[in-house]
Structure 1
Amino acid sequence: MRVLFLVQGEGRGHLTQALSLAQILNIAGHEVIGALVGVTAERGVPAFFSDKFTAPITPIFSPGLVYNAGTNELEPGKTTIQAIRYARPFWRSLKQVRDTIETQRPDVVVNFYEMLGGLTYAFLRPSVPMICIAHQYFAFHSNFQRPKGQWFYRQAFKLNTRLTCFRAHELLALSFDKQADEPSQRIRVVPPLLRQEITDMKPSTGDFLLAYVTQPGLKVELMKAHQQHPEVRMDGFHSGVTVPDEVIDDTLTYHAIDGKRFLDFMSRCKAIVTTAGFESVCEAAYLGKPALMIPQPNHFEQSCNAIDGQRAGVGIASDRFDLDQLLDYLPRYDAQVSERFRAWHAQGYFLFLAALNRAIAPKRKSHGGFFRTRVRHILRS
């Protein structure tokens, strides 16, 4: 089976999922022939992806999300305006995607939440089947829990998600736990796709809390929490730190952003404080680390992730860095959640391969019918 990837380049989540699926396909003896990665003028293909992805990578222009530079809030209005402004280069990108598919002729296209995929299939209709993979598709599931209010952000999120999956054969909805499929919505519920660095780790339980600080306001809240509980050791990875370790006092240390070191700290911490990105919460769950999930402001998807993660028992949702809430929760955290999560994750190998085979089954049946017709014709003659 020859597979072509189409990957949203915003953040790390979809890119790491693509790396994980590529590994599954390689183990199964299939070929990933390349990846089209959505980029902007300000954001190229990250090195962590290009260094590890072994097939050819083609950067392709795709309008990105717009965040407020001061508060890190998602701004849907400005995101929409930017997409309209870039309508002409965006159309060229759609034709580039279509031409790549028709030239390379993969058996199936796998789209990791890139809008270019859905719109190419909507307007230009490539002949190769496409399946779509993302946690966001779980939002169409009947069991998905949504935050109250946020009507505008909810509609913007649903529209954006719909735009990624027009004419897809199936939507593979990544989920914290096993749920029933919903064929009427084309939804198949599948486990998270985690990078090998996580699954190879052997976690231990330390005496410190780990925080990933990306929002300016979160750093202020972390300092307040530290002042209220100076006896609790905390380590925070912070984008504003320029040295490997910045010791504030005996129980608080900031660290410069470093992916490898962060994973090492995560494997040894007692619990993690993070935004409610699906990927990071799943990594914590796999390692048995309860999470305090704090969605970015106005980020409807992360608000959904936090509620759903709390439902699944992987952590607790909050709108701020409430250390008392986390400390009260830790004695109630069920360690069996991680065992169930790992068992669910282990089913992914078979479920993803089955989905790809379902997508190309009509094609195989069509080719088989043609072959049988030709054989009958030859025998009659």
Structure 2
Amino acid sequence: MKILYAFQGTGNGHISRALEIIPALQSYATTDLLISGTKSDLSLPHKIKYRMEGLSYQLGHNGGIDFKKTIQQASLSSLYHDIRKVPIGQYDLIINDFEPITAWACTLRNKLCISLSHQYAVLSPEAPQPKQKDLKGIVALKYYAPSKMGFGFHFQSYNNQIHPPVISRVIRETNITKGDHVTVYLSAYSEEYLLNFFAAYPQVNWEIFTNTCPVVRKYKHIKLLPLERTSFIQSMGSSYAVLCGAGFETPAEAIYMGKRLAVVPTKHQYEQSCNAAALRGLGVTVIETLTADAHQDILSWLNSPPALKINYPEQTDALINKVLTSVEPAIMKPIPALYYSRINL
């Protein structure tokens, strides 16, 4: 069997998960890698056969997506060209972590594409949803990388197709202590915004990681650090608490470490609204936006009871075995053309 594993580089969570999934796939079959997107701050120690521009959102400076900048920098002609040219026919199976080029290529060519992503779980009817539905957000999440078959990851297993987060070996082996600093990673806010905001909390030591800080800088009780995986994990492991976006991997890692956690959802990103709803259900503090109105919420969180801890099991190899076993009958025969025509809201 020959597999193409396609994942996106928009956000660090996909690459963090890929670091664990790639070796498991390679132990079962010949596996080539495709990555699209441009916003990750992490690197991979694996050979990437295909690098494509993909479709990446652009973040603003005060907590949300910059839609104008996203549209300006999107190359739809390049995206269309890549969808037409990506050689999915060379592979027995496409496994996709929310990667749009291979997902749409498979849809248009009636080839089976297995979603292996957090987003697949978020779209499940059993997964938590925010009280205020966002139709545009739901459509974007569903059609960005469409797939009718898959396996998802979430903070809890809401059905038998949804599995616990993939916690990396590095996280599992990290020595967990309780220091006096709060680790912060909020990529939707600029350095300047974060410095001004956390200046109002001189009683707390803040370690703020950003992708725009080239070297470590200290400002009284605030330390700015370049976003680098090893130092970020060390900071989380020795922290008093973690404050981050309402993505998936970083909150899951903080929960696994047993850290006091608060999340700030990126504005206009429906997936993060869904994650916030799920985390709120687990008792995690959700801060809607970093403004003066959040002052009391942050103080209450810092003085909240002991943190939630979930010992997520290691099951990557078992999950890959389940995925490949479940699709083996399907890849032995052509996929009916109607299979991909059943995409309904």
TM-score range normalised by the length of the shorter chain: 0.7 to 0.9
Structure 1 runs, 4 residues or longer, greater than 6 Å off: 44-47
Q: Which residue of 2 aligns with 1:141?
A: 124
Q: Which residue of 2 aligns with 1:349?
A: 317
CA RMSD of aligned residues (A): 3.0
TM-score by length of 2: 0.83
Per-residue deviation, 1:222? 5.8
Q: Which residue of 2 aligns with 1:14?
A: 14
1:336-375 superposed Cα distances (whole Å, 9 cap, x missing partner): x42xx324x32443233212210113445x69xxxxxxxx
Counterpart Cα distance in 2 of 1:32 and 1:266: 35
- Could you tell me whether the CA contact under 8 Å between 2:39 and 2:56 is conserved in 1? no
Counterpart Cα distance in 1 of 2:275 and 2:99: 19
- Could you tell me whether the CA contact under 8 Å between 2:12 and 2:42 is conserved in 1? no
Matches within 5 A, 1:55-74: 55-68=47-60, 70-71=61-62, 73-74=64-65
1:109-147 superposed Cα distances (whole Å, 9 cap, x missing partner): 110101122211221223xx3210221222332333333
- Structure 2 unaligned segments of length 5 or more: list them: 335-345
Q: If you compute each CA radius of gyration, which structure gives the higher value, 1 or 2? A: 1
Matches within 5 A, 1:1-381: 1-26=1-26, 29-39=27-37, 43=38, 48-49=43-44, 52-53=45-46, 55-68=47-60, 70-71=61-62, 73-75=64-66, 79=70, 86=76, 88-97=77-86, 100-103=87-90, 105-106=91-92, 108-126=93-111, 129-149=112-132, 151=134, 154-166=135-147, 168=148, 170-181=149-160, 188-216=161-189, 220=193, 223-227=196-200, 229-244=201-216, 246-249=217-220, 251-313=221-283, 315-321=284-290, 322=294, 324-329=296-301, 332-333=304-305, 335=307, 337-338=308-309, 341-343=310-312, 345-363=313-331
Per-residue deviation, 1:163? 4.1
Which moved further from structure 2: 272-281 or 193-202? 193-202
Per-residue deviation, 1:240? 4.6
- Could you tell me whether the CA contact under 8 Å between 2:98 and 2:144 is conserved in 1? no
The residue identity in structure 2 corresponding to 1:263 is: I
Counterpart Cα distance in 1 of 2:243 and 2:295: 9
- Could you tell me whether the CA contact under 8 Å between 1:62 and 1:116 is conserved in 2? yes
Pair 1:62–1:257, CA change in 2 (3 A): closer
Where 1:346 maps in the other structure, the secondary structure is coil
Counterpart Cα distance in 1 of 2:315 and 2:302: 28
The residue identity in structure 2 corresponding to 1:102 is: G
What is the percentage of aligned positions where both structures have the same residue? 19
Pair 1:253–1:218, CA change in 2 (3 A): closer
Pair 1:195–1:138, CA change in 2 (3 A): same
1:179-204 superposed Cα distances (whole Å, 9 cap, x missing partner): 223xxxxxx10121233322221211
Structure number having the greater helix percentage: 1
Higher relative contact order (CA 8 A, sep 6+): 2
Equivalences, count: 331
1:143-199 superposed Cα distances (whole Å, 9 cap, x missing partner): 333334463xx4234334234124x4x221211012223xxxxxx101212333222
Per-residue deviation, 1:290? 2.4
Which moved further from structure 2: 70-79 or 108-117? 70-79
TM-score by length of 1: 0.76
Q: Which residue of 2 aligns with 1:374?
A: none
Counterpart Cα distance in 1 of 2:191 and 2:273: 16
- Could you tell me whether the CA contact under 8 Å between 2:242 and 2:254 is conserved in 1? yes
Counterpart Cα distance in 1 of 2:79 and 2:64: 25
